[in-house]
Structure 1
Amino acid sequence: MDHDEALQLVWDDILNPGRKGGGIAVVRGFTGSGKTTLLNRLAERAGAAGMVTLYATGCPGEQRSPLSVIEQWFSGCAETRDGIAAQLSALLAEHGEAASGSPDRDEELLVRQAQALVGDTLRDLAEQGPVVAVVDDAHYSDAASIKVLRFLSNRLRRRRVFLVLTDRTDQGKEYRSLRAAIMRNARPLVLQLAHLTHRSAAQLLHGLTGHRFSEDYVKGVLEISGGNPRLVSAIAYDSKCAHRDVPPEQWTPVLGTAFRETVSLLISAHRPESVESVARALAVLGDVRSPDLLSALSGVEPVKVVAALDLLEDSGLVTGGRFRHPVMQAAVWEDTGFTCRAELSRSAARLLYESGAPSPDVARCITATGTVTADWEVSVLREAARQAKAEGRWHQAVELMESAHGFKDGSDDHTELLMAVTRAKWQVDAYVAARHLADLVAAAREGRLRDRDLMLLAQMLVWHGRLDEAETVLRLLRDRAGESPETATELAVVEKLLSLFFTGLRGADTQASPAPADTAPWQVLSRTAPPWPQAVLTTRDLMRTKADGLYRVIVGQLASAFFAAGDADAQTPDINQYHYCFLLLRHVSASWSAMPQIDGVSAELFERLSPFQRALLRGLQAAGFFAQGRLEEAEAHARVALERPQAWGVAVGLPLSILILALTRRGKPAEAADVLNIPVPPAMLESHFGRVYLHARGQYHLATNNAYAALRDFLACGEAERQGGYPPVPTCPWQAGTAEAYLLLDRKDEAVRMAEEAIATAGDDLARLKAQALRVLALTRPVERRGGPLREAMSLLEESGDPVELAHVLDELGQVHYALGHAETGRSLMRRALRMARAGGFEGALKRSLRETSGMEAVIPSPAVMGAPPPVPGTRAGQEPEASEAFSALSPAEQRVAWLASIGYSNREIASKLFVTVSTIEQHLTRIYRKLKVKRREDLAAACPVPADVALL
């Protein structure tokens, strides 16, 4: 029952008008149940009613002091007969002097004298009115006081004396005899205090803080405390201190100093001391494996272990064999009196290990000792770290590996452990892991690293741009390659991969034999294990996307292996994981391509990825969003990827470039400038990522009208490409950028030369580069000659997919039509470009300063003219509602022809684009004019919304 109900029952029993004599009430409850609070409230109520109130508390430290409880009753009590306290003191003094003779006989005499004295005193007091005599924690009373209480319990029927006791289940022999006498003679009122209910907890919290709390807050407090009033009070105090300026409805349970101290007090308050021993052993083990195991660790007999657990559970500290809340376990563990925690933890580790407990549980006890002292402990820590990585607990895995590395026995295993620690740290923060690279290079020089570890070390060094050390490690590998064909093959793969980052790292031209001519590339993949090293060696240029489909298969497989496996470190060999990383980054940074394997990573899988893999994934997804013209999402993902830019090493050029370009195209030059202030490794500018970064920085300078700085960056891209021997990539169209910078500087001849050079050198896989150069080339010509290059650029972009550049081309082509007097066509094209920009979040891309050099300021319509009302429901974005009905009457082929004709394509150009004859186009146009009720080609623009099958939609 709760406090209020128990108090009222006791009070009603005292005031019972039908009672002629006195009575006894026994209040029982777990530690912290509020028994003392109830007695205090009873004593206050009795005193306010004019009753004589005697109060005493049993104490374990005074159990050897005779009559200590009875003496407390009368000490300072004004209503007692004169001299009783002095008489008791005199009796005790006489007892002390006589105790040297026969202690038992003297104590018996003392008890008889005390019984007579106390009995007479209470009889006299009861004649004046009811007497309420309470003893808190009566089970801790001394033996003499217990005998006096037993004497009184037999005489309460004739005296209006009410004896109220509180006790617990952990009782001594003497007190049990008192309880037996009470139950036999006095017919006591026995009350059992229960754990707090939701209602009583809310009332207690209100009384302690003066606030009314939400249901969730009260529920949370109850779940933590188990309904123990003392713990509830501690949580209320900590919450009040932590939420001084927070409205009560926003409070959350706080477990601070008061809570921890209360937990410690509740455990130390139990007697016997075995309860505290069991609690400490439980804090070390974490939960109860078996009473026998807990007994072996605590040194407490199994039967007493069970009793101690019952007491801890009654107190709300333990449930289901473990502490109710981790803070409770921490409070026991951190108790200053717990000085043997290291020894107890080592004993627990040994017991758990011998009983076959899971490695993570054994490892937790080992790490708690602070030192590793045996080989078996190292093995346990490594296995626990492996499991932690498999479950996505990467920081814990690092801590476990560092603990294992702390065991120094002078063997080569220590170097192996250092490599394992470095790999584990790499998955959390590659920048932090780099602190071990110097020691690993020294170990490599001394011949203490295996071949595969050397290959990993070389890639780690290259990642951070430490090329001289990487070359040292690669030389060591080349020396070993002659002794091992397997090492020679692996080394050839590693050197080819590293050369994708830094061409200066190309080693000997070791190439595996190519696959038979009649073997399809994907069949090579399916037969090799791992499936792609032979393909890496036999493909002439890994970055060419049309290498018989082989490269796309490689990228798809390695993306699935790197991300879809969840724990790449556990599922694939470390060497392969680093290969995957290098290839993925090189592929995406060379093409800005979206990858379905990456976009399809689930939230559940993402949670299991390491922080390194997460950052890599976000960077690659940012590239995919950028390629699709979804600049807002590209910006968001790039920012997440760059939370720890140092961890990216030289590859930081990839997410930085995406973020700079996304911000620049979204019209946020100030934010792009902040990104450019992020420090980058000096070696990055010498790598493949350096030219991508330089191009992004050049685009920023173009957008801010700093043509000279832009020109410098674009020319530096070209120089890096030539010196490094890198093949051209779509992500670094430096020739087109250079031409655009020359145009801004009014150096048209040089702009034409660079644009034509880009057009001449761009192959089929560089369509976007060629399209950009065509757009710049068009702007160097008179208005009437710009349509052809712009339409060709549009065709290339429709096939290759670059929404931002396509919007530019549409905008420029619209301006050309507007300047030539085709206002409807011009407005239609510019409106569509503007809608594309708004949908993709790159409207600022259409406001470049390049227009200021085109000589068309007078003919560019204002944004108000170019703008269009929101789409009518049921129509596609960008579709004019008036034209929709008539245009929908056209067949798909007619819609395509009408659209191409409306933006200025000739009949021959349309026929070539659609792979039909000119005559067919003429017949289509005849039917189109009739259905749309127009007479001239120029009128098509107003009547032709973009057809559904056009790629730019």
Structure 2
Amino acid sequence: MGLAERHQHIQLLHRLTSDAASGRGRVAVLHGTGPNGKTELLDHAIVRAEELGFQVLRAVGARPERALPLGIVAQLVHGATLPGHLRREADTWLEEAAVTVTADSVPGTATVRIFDRLCRVMLELAGRAPVLIAVDDVHHADTASLHCLLHLIRRIGPLPVCVVLTDDSSSSTELPLFRSELQRQPYVSRLAVEPLAPAGVRELVAERLGAARAAALAADFHRLTGGNTLLLSSLVEDFTATGGIRPQGYGAAFAGHLERGDRVCLAVVRALAVLGPERTTAELAELAEVSEAEVGTALGTLSGSGLLADGHFRAPAARLAVLEALSRTERDRLHLAAARLLHQRGAPVPRVAAHLVETQSAPGDWAVQALREAAERALVTDQRGTAVACLELAYRCCSEETARTAVLARLLHAEWLDSPSRAARHLSGLGAAAASGRLDRSERVTLVHRLLWHGRGEEAARVLHRLRATARAPQPGQRTDLLDLEHWLAWNHPELAMENRPQATAGTAPFLGVPSRSGPLPHVTGVLSDALTRGRPDRVTDLAEQVLGDVPRARASEWGAEAALTALTVLTAADRPTDTLAWCERLVAEDVHLLPVTTRAFLAAARAEAALRLGELGTALEQARLAFVLLPAKSWGTAVGLPLGSLLLAAARTGEFEEVSRQLTQSVPDAMLESRYGVTYLYARGHCRLATGHSHAALADFMACGERMRAWGLDVPGLPAWRTGAAEAWLRLGNTDQAKKLAYEQLGRPDAARPHTRGLALRMMAAASPVKRMPQLLTEALDLFEECGDQYEQARVLADLSRAQYEAGDSRRARMLFRRARHMARLCGAEPLCEELLSAPEELGGEPPTRECGLGAGLTDAERRVAALAVRGYTNREIALKLYVTPSTVEQHLTRTYRKLGIKRRKDLPAGLGVETGASGSAA
């Protein structure tokens, strides 16, 4: 680096060397705290002296060489070009000194005689040319060398000799009188070398990086270095190489200087690096094994030199470098000692635990307890990684089995918040603990939930059996955690709750007694689940909103995510999907990254489901995909049916059939199909199969939904209206009687008054009714879908109503409704519905037949006849009967037709093919 802000020092050095050249002995002591350019000034003085013809004798002090008597003097003598007789004389006296002189002895007569002879050797050189004696880091010189230097300095007054020493004033010298003795000499000048001011930093940075970058970086460089030239030089090199701070540059320079410096300063800085910024002077003193006064002096010295800023590291790289310079054994010793002293002083447990985690040891019950307490605090403050680290260490180091099991239960929960699949590794251990009675009741309740999440139903059933066997009958009005669990099971995993389904409580009693806040989360989850099971979501919407309002505070609770999901399900089931979306948006807008990943994934899945109910297909698709980004399918466990069902349904309605195909080929847990999430999945898969022309498979899915829901007694709002899906499948198969029967059955259900469900049933009823009845039924359905805001179903009803009016002869109204249908379909992104509308008769606003007739040019006659009947709405079986072929032959002809026309399903067949009919004869 350059010599910015050192102009006065340079001028004085020039004057002193000039005086020495004219025969007047001079001494310059360059002093200051820390590495702030003293060596650079010394080097400049050497270059200046050599230009003036000086003979230069140079030595460098080092801490390890303090034990070497006259080590500095030997460097001076052996580094000079001495005449033969002087070198022999110097060697002789140095050999005698090796026997006579010790590193820290008080000079006796013989020792002083050796000093005198050695000084004469060096001073004899001045008879030939001026001499510069340069000693860097004189504070590291051995005692004998310091005495010899004083002996020399006293004799240079009338000689052409200049002595330049660099001294770190923060270091204690081995000769207490050395500095005071120097000050007594009239020809000794002391030059203070301090850290650079901001202007000096900018000047030096400009020399290396240019004026433009210096203007931008100077302020930050001064903050990071305090004007310390050693750190500044390293920082400039770092930015030249990589554009940032490097551990091997800035950090290594910081740590390297401390290793060469004062031992007290080194011990204090190491303690500072271990304890961190929250340390107190007393803690530093105890860990560094020095007095508090020494700590204060060391911190003041290091801050004055620019290495520290008011007793703190200027950059994390400096602290890391100090720690990295320690051996692993020494670093662990310091961290463990820090943990002990902090524990003894009653410091906050997170500070104690941080040191234990660093050492990966917890010696004693106090340490394990500190780790457990720190983990709980970390969970509350959203430091879930810290909580996991504390609990893992506590689990390894805990020797008492019951406590160890409790730690494992908390570890499972801490990991489940962000990665249920990772947490699954602890389930077997907890299952064994539950079997041996080491797991308390609330932990077993939570374990049932986690086992079911991962599809381990048999293990969950065993834990549940023991819970039920040891349960006491609750008093009237008394709640128990088992009762809450039974309510939750009845809604989510009804197979396990079938024999133990809790009885309905008279009136609204299950929902009374809930405190103004939402209350204990397992309890409110049970209350909300019970309301869903009994088809009464409307009665607990206020409680659901209380739960959602508590999500930010309860985000680390074991039942927090489940309570939030159940509350959102209540709002959607109560025909309030708009409120569901609003709550989800509010929760993620506050600070989404504070929420556990599992909770965020639940919110995304709930948003997708609510968006589907509103016909916001793009939002539904986006949120369903986000749910799988946050939690991979493996982490979703049996609940995967929730986001997967929304993803399938949204993809099918938006025409993303490649996505549908890809998702349907993915395996799903068998246990999922025995939960409410399986019903959601089957319903969505049924609609995907309808959209791709597989009506029989679709019907099977819808009927499977119905069988499960009826067997479970869960044919309630909040679960899919399977009858309307089955009715649509029967219509596709040409069985209007079955379709009408299911639509009637749905309209006769207790929940038939709900707008969305009633609208779906009315649309199916209209499709299975004569043309004269269709407008009335569809008009009512349209009103209902407008009331609940479902854009997609509005578009479908408008399209059906348009065709009904057209067939009834009201072309003007039909065209108006058609335009509304097409607009609504485009608005919600329903591409397949848009394409279907394009194939409507030209009078309604569809594409003219002439645009499509030519598309059949590449088809064989047999393929054209089959396609024409398919366009007109005949089923494969009906086409086979008309053309006297097998249904398999019809399906083969349609497959080849799809390939030739570049389409994917029956609905994509051009409407113009319908006029190219050959309704009789064989297609074989």
TM-score by length of 2: 0.80
Aligned mates of 1:679, 1:204 — CA distance in 2: 65
Tell me which residue corresponds to 1:791: 779
Tell me which residue corresponds to 2:563: 580
Tell me, what secondary structure is at the counterpart of 1:482? coil
Tell me which residue corresponds to 2:255: 264
Tell me which residue corresponds to 2:346: 356
Asked whether 1:495 is paired with 2:499, we answer: no
Residue of structure 2 aligned with 1:56, choices 50, 56, 59: 59
Residue of structure 2 aligned with 1:800, choices 788, 795, 806: 788
Aligned mates of 2:505, 2:470 — CA distance in 1: 24
After superposition, give the CA deviation of every residue in 1:812-833 in whole Å (9 maximum; x if it has no partner). 4456557778676555545544
The amino acid that maps onto 2:75 is: Q
After superposition, give the CA deviation of every residue in 1:1-55 in whole Å (9 maximum; x if it has no partner). 9832316632564158995545443333443434334433554455466654443
What is the 5 A alignment of 1:763-912? 763-764=751-752, 766-776=754-764, 778=766, 786-814=774-802, 825=813, 828-840=816-828, 842-844=829-831, 846-847=833-834, 849=836, 856=841, 859-861=844-846
Aligned mates of 2:157, 2:373 — CA distance in 1: 71
Residue of structure 2 aligned with 1:404, choices 373, 377, 394: 394
Aligned mates of 1:479, 1:235 — CA distance in 2: 70
Tell me which residue corresponds to 1:137: 137
On the 8 A contact 2:13/2:45 being kept in 1, the answer is no
Tell me, what secondary structure is at the counterpart of 2:398? coil
What displacement does 1:132 show? 4.3
Instruction: State which drifts further: 350-359 or 830-839.
Output: 830-839
Tell me, what secondary structure is at the counterpart of 1:134? strand
Aligned mates of 1:745, 1:45 — CA distance in 2: 104
The amino acid that maps onto 2:114 is: L
Instruction: State which drifts further: 281-290 or 439-448.
Output: 281-290
The amino acid that maps onto 2:31 is: R
On the 8 A contact 1:428/1:612 being kept in 2, the answer is yes
Residue of structure 1 aligned with 2:543, choices 514, 529, 554: 554
What is the 5 A alignment of 1:90-489? 90-97=92-99, 104-126=108-130, 131-154=131-154, 158-173=158-173, 177-186=177-186, 188-197=188-197, 200-201=200-201, 204=204, 213=213, 219-238=219-238, 243=242, 251=243, 253-271=244-262, 273-287=263-277, 289-314=279-304, 316-337=306-327, 339-482=329-472, 489=480
The amino acid that maps onto 1:340 is: E
What is the 5 A alignment of 1:668-683? 668-676=656-664, 679-683=667-671
Aligned mates of 2:619, 2:195 — CA distance in 1: 52
On the 8 A contact 2:528/2:566 being kept in 1, the answer is no
Tell me, what secondary structure is at the counterpart of 1:3? coil
Tell me which residue corresponds to 2:586: 600
Aligned mates of 2:830, 2:173 — CA distance in 1: 88
Aligned mates of 2:333, 2:510 — CA distance in 1: 64
Tell me, what secondary structure is at the counterpart of 2:587? coil
Tell me, what secondary structure is at the counterpart of 2:4? helix
Tell me which residue corresponds to 1:905: none
Tell me, what secondary structure is at the counterpart of 2:128? helix
Aligned mates of 2:431, 2:214 — CA distance in 1: 60
Aligned mates of 1:783, 1:197 — CA distance in 2: 92
After superposition, give the CA deviation of every residue in 1:467-498 in whole Å (9 maximum; x if it has no partner). 11111111111111137759984322211211
What displacement does 1:210 show? 8.0
Instruction: State which drifts further: 356-365 or 22-31.
Output: 22-31
Residue of structure 2 aligned with 1:31, choices 30, 34, 38: 34
Compared with structure 1, are the counterparts of its residues 73 and 539 closer, same or farther at alpha carbon in structure 2 (3 Å cutoff)? closer
What is the 5 A alignment of 1:709-724? 709-724=697-712
Residue of structure 2 aligned with 1:612, choices 598, 602, 609: 598
Instruction: State which drifts further: 484-493 or 114-123.
Output: 484-493
Aligned Cα RMSD in Å? 4.1
Aligned mates of 1:97, 1:761 — CA distance in 2: 112
On the 8 A contact 2:805/2:813 being kept in 1, the answer is yes
Compared with structure 1, are the counterparts of its residues 578 and 665 closer, same or farther at alpha carbon in structure 2 (3 Å cutoff)? closer
Structure 2: tracts of 5 or more residues without a match: 849-924
Tell me which residue corresponds to 2:672: 684
What displacement does 1:317 show? 4.7
Instruction: State which drifts further: 759-768 or 653-662.
Output: 759-768
Aligned mates of 1:531, 1:301 — CA distance in 2: 52
Compared with structure 1, are the counterparts of its residues 435 and 765 closer, same or farther at alpha carbon in structure 2 (3 Å cutoff)? farther
Aligned mates of 1:833, 1:133 — CA distance in 2: 99
Aligned mates of 1:822, 1:50 — CA distance in 2: 117
After superposition, give the CA deviation of every residue in 1:561-594 in whole Å (9 maximum; x if it has no partner). 3x0425552xxxx5x6476256336536756833
Report percent identity of matched pairs.
Answer: 30
Instruction: State which drifts further: 792-801 or 292-301.
Output: 292-301
Compared with structure 1, are the counterparts of its residues 836 and 182 closer, same or farther at alpha carbon in structure 2 (3 Å cutoff)? farther
On the 8 A contact 1:2/1:200 being kept in 2, the answer is no
After superposition, give the CA deviation of every residue in 1:803-859 in whole Å (9 maximum; x if it has no partner). 22223333444565577786765555455445545555x24253355876xx64774
After superposition, give the CA deviation of every residue in 1:153-197 in whole Å (9 maximum; x if it has no partner). 456664554433222124444555343344333465544444455
Tell me which residue corresponds to 2:916: none
TM-score by length of 1: 0.77
Structure 1: tracts of 5 or more residues without a match: 244-250, 864-953
What displacement does 1:506 show? 1.4
On the 8 A contact 1:592/1:623 being kept in 2, the answer is no
After superposition, give the CA deviation of every residue in 1:433-466 in whole Å (9 maximum; x if it has no partner). 2221212221222222222222121122222221
Instruction: State which drifts further: 258-267 or 216-225.
Output: 216-225
Aligned mates of 2:43, 2:691 — CA distance in 1: 79
On the 8 A contact 1:478/1:488 being kept in 2, the answer is no
Give the number of equivalent residue pairs.
Answer: 837
Aligned mates of 1:772, 1:483 — CA distance in 2: 44
Aligned mates of 1:765, 1:786 — CA distance in 2: 20
What displacement does 1:710 show? 3.9
On the 8 A contact 1:154/1:186 being kept in 2, the answer is no
The amino acid that maps onto 1:472 is: R
The amino acid that maps onto 1:120 is: E
Tell me which residue corresponds to 2:631: 644
On the 8 A contact 2:251/2:318 being kept in 1, the answer is yes
Tell me, what secondary structure is at the counterpart of 2:59? strand
Compared with structure 1, are the counterparts of its residues 647 and 224 closer, same or farther at alpha carbon in structure 2 (3 Å cutoff)? farther
What displacement does 1:555 show? 1.9
